[in-house]
């Protein structure tokens, strides 16, 4: 069956450290993968997109990798801050469609001072 898995347990890290979140998928062949941030009581906000032919994408303190062989994406936040505390969602988009996204359940990140 098709699955997208993100670590359901919260990730707790110390301010200043690098947070690494994982998104694994099975039985999909995504054309690209997106990461979103969601704060409590609010809608998701787009962060980064990476295509199947890209290995890595960066934006300020954020870095995303995409390994289509391992069927895995890693999302890194360097020099993390308490303001980075939120739930992070990964979403796959399959080729052939226009933009139907399939979301993982998200991982909650807590950055402690």
Partner 1 sequence: NAGVTQTPKFQVLKTGQSMTLQCAQDMNHNSMYWYRQDPGMGLRLIYYSASEGTTDKGEVPNGYNVSRLNKREFSLRLESAAPSQTSVYFCASSEARGHTYEQYFGPGTRLTVT
The residue among 77 and 106 lying less far from partner 1, judged by its C-beta, is 106
Shortest spacing between CB 15 and partner 1, in angstroms: 28
Q: Counting contacts by CB under 8 A, is residue 96 touching partner 1? A: no
Looking only at residues 22 through 51 of this chain, which bind partner 1 when binding is defined by CB under 8 A?
32, 34, 41-46, 49
Here the contacts of 96-101 (C-beta below 8 Å, separation 24 or greater) are: 96/31, 101/34
Please identify which residue in the block is written with the tokens 């303001």.
83
The Cα angle at residue 64 between residues 81 and 80, in degrees rounded to 5: 10
Q: 113 near 17, Cβ under 8 Å?
A: no
For the chain, the distance separating the N- and C-terminal CA atoms, rounded to the nearest angstrom, is 41
79 scored as a contact of partner 1 (CB under 8 A) = no
10: contact with partner 1 by CB under 8 A: no
What residues make contact with partner 1 under the rule CB under 8 A?
4, 8, 32, 34, 41-46, 49, 89, 91, 93, 98-106
């Amino acid at each position: 069956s098709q699955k997208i898995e993100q670590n359901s347990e919260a990730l707790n890290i110390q301010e200043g450290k690098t947070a690494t979140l994982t998104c694994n998928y099975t039985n999909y062949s995504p054309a690209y993968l997106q990461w979103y941030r969601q704060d409590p009581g609010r809608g998701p906000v787009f962060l980064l997109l990476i295509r199947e032919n890209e290995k890595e994408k960066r934006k300020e303190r954020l870095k995303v990798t995409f390994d289509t062989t391992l069927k895995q994406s890693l999302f890194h936040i360097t020099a993390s801050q308490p303001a980075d505390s939120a739930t992070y969602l990964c979403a796959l988009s399959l080729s052939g469609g226009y933009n139907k996204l399939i979301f993982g359940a998200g991982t909650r990140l807590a950055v402690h001072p």
